[in-house]
Structures are given as C-alpha cells and as structure tokens.
Amino acid sequence: MAGPAVAEEDGSSNMDSYWSGAPEFPGSEVSEEWVSVDDGVRLRVITWRPTESINRPVVVFVAGWGSVFEGWRPLISKWSAERTIVYIETREKGSSEISKKISKSDFSVEKLSSDLAEVLRFYELDSTDIDWFSSSLGSTILIDAFSHGRLSGRSSILLAPNSEFKFPIWARAMIIMPLPRFMYSMIVRLAVWAVERKVKEEGQRIRYRRALLSQDLQKMHLSARSLIRYSLPEDLEGISFPCAVMTAYSDKLHGMDKAMGIVDRIPDCKFIEVPSNQYAHEADVISDINDFQSLE
C-alpha cells in the first residue's frame, strides 16, 4: 500500500494504488473487473464471494462521491465472509477508465444510475433480488433511480444520503467556471481545509482527506459542476420496497435534518441511528444491517 498522499503540482497524486488491486480477506474469494457501462467508459467493480456457501441475497455496494475503498476496508473485511458483495466505483472516481472527451453531462445522476443498471446487466443480477448498501452520493443516485423506476431492490440501506449538494460559497465560482489544470492543487488544498473545519469525527476527516488527495480532478470538477444544481425529487412515493436511512447526529457534513426529510418522503422508510459516521464503516454495523434485513 502506498504511503501518505502527497498532491502533485497539477493536482494529481501518488495514490494510483488506491484505484486498483483486489483486496483479499479471510473467508472469501475476490475478483476485480473493469465493466463497460457506456461508450468509452469502464468502471472498476470488485466482487467478494464467501468460500462457504451462504444462502443470502447479493449485496451491491455503491460508495460516496470520490470514496476510496480503504475507508470501507474495516467493514468489508468481515462482511465479505458472510455475503457476496459487488462493490461498484462510480465514474467520477479515479478508477474509472474514460477514453472519450468528457463534459459535466457525463456525470449527471441519471448517467450514474444508468451505469449501475449496466453493471447489474453485466453480472446478470436482478435488482429486485439485491440488498443495496450505499453512502452519500451513492445513496442519492439510488434514491433517484428508485423513484424513477430505473432500479429496484429487495432492500436498501442509505447511509448519509444527500438531498442536494450545497457547496460552500467560495467553491461555487470555482466549480461553475472552467479551470486550468494549474489551479487543481489549490482547489484540493482548499477542499481539504474546508472539510477538516466542518467534520468533527477524526475517522471521517482521515477518509475525506485521503479521498480528496487521490482523485482525478478533471472528473471531480465536472462531477461537481453537474451536481451543483441537483436535488432529489420531492415525490418519493413510488419507492415500494424496504428502505432505511442510516446516519449519525455527529455527522455535520451530511446533516441530520436533510436525512430525516428523506425518511419522511420514502414510504415506510426506517431510520437507523448510528453512533458516528465512522461506525458505519466498521464491522460492528453488520448487526444493524442484518437486523434491518431480517437476517439474524
């Protein structure tokens, strides 16, 4: 594993190792593939299958905006021995292979949900049989897709979903304007500074710092430009399978009020309070997941 991240002058980093390689864990077998989801776009997908046969539904895992797998290692290292897990890295992340000229329209929520449907098609998975687990932007993508009927599920746990993307005022001008590459390193430093001021949990700060320093910043900039005007549909009544919103009162970055607003709009949605955002990235959260999914 690479050492501490150091952003280069153009905003790139020495953390390519965070975007390749299939982590092996006791009790499971792992594979890594780049799945074609659109013209000129391939996504990294890692799949763990328990070595002992366990008759439980497949988990499809969609992490947050720019999320690096390392932040999820404590959870998946244990969970992978109990469930088949399909971990999808969305196209704004450093692992995606994009061979065409890109614009902000390539990073819309609709495009991201279409990518997920293509991954399911590749693995011949029926979305109605899936237990989804997602975080942040991943949760937003799924709620949008569920509400429009593009995806469904057996169940879905939505960790810290965003109903909209409120970037700081100082960042909005930078996001909206086209930017030369020499400004990327400055943007990264500003973003790390802003997150570290906002976030109180040490584990969450570490994860966000690592993620910000490891990105392909052109993708992230275009993704931010696409998301800046996005908000979830007000009407989520069409979601008709069991969903739960999971969050912590201490998570100041995502906000409890917004999360509770989503709970109120999804029919029969359950609220799962966790002690911290970091807790939801660790193996202890498996008991909360199993309880919701009636697997105990």
CATH of the domain at 134: 3.40.50.1820
pLDDT of residue 14 exceeding 60, the answer is no
Q: Which of 53, 122, 55 is nearest to 88 (CA)?
A: 122
pLDDT of residue 186: 65
Helix, strand, coil percentages, rounded to 5, for the chain: 40, 20, 40
Two tokens at 128? 């109605």
Q: How confident is the model at residue 182, as a pLDDT?
A: 58
Are 116 and 62 a contacting pair, CB within 8 Å? yes
Q: What letter does residue 231 receive in the DSSP assignment?
A: B
pLDDT (0 to 100) of residue 190: 62
Instruction: Tell me the C-alpha distance between 40 and 171, whole Å.
Output: 30
Provide the residue range defining the domain that includes 102.
19-164+232-292
Give the residue with greater pLDDT, 221 vs 39. 39
Residue 197 covered by a domain = no
| Inside any domain, residue 178 | no
- The pLDDT score that the predictor gives to residue 284 is 97
Task: Give the pLDDT mean for 156-184.
Answer: 74
Domain count, the chain: 1
Segment 92-124, tens digit of pLDDT:
999 999 999 999 999 999 999 999 999 999 999
Residue 219 lies in a domain: no
Q: What mean pLDDT value characterizes the chain?
A: 85
Give helix 184-198 / helix 217-227 axis angle, nearest 10°: 60
Give pTM, 2 decimals: 0.83
- 286 assigned to some structural domain: yes
Half-sphere exposure of 22 (CA within 13 A, CB side): 17
- Domain assignment present for residue 10? The answer is no
Dist CA 11 CA 187 (whole Å): 8
CA dist 255 and 259 (Å) reads 7
Q: Which two tokens stand for residue 34?
A: 């780049």
pLDDT tens-digit readout, 198-217: 666 666 656 656 666 666 77
Is 187 a member of any domain? no
Would you say residue 144 lies in a domain?
Answer: yes
Percent of the chain scored above 70 by pLDDT? 76
Is 253 within the bounds of a domain? yes
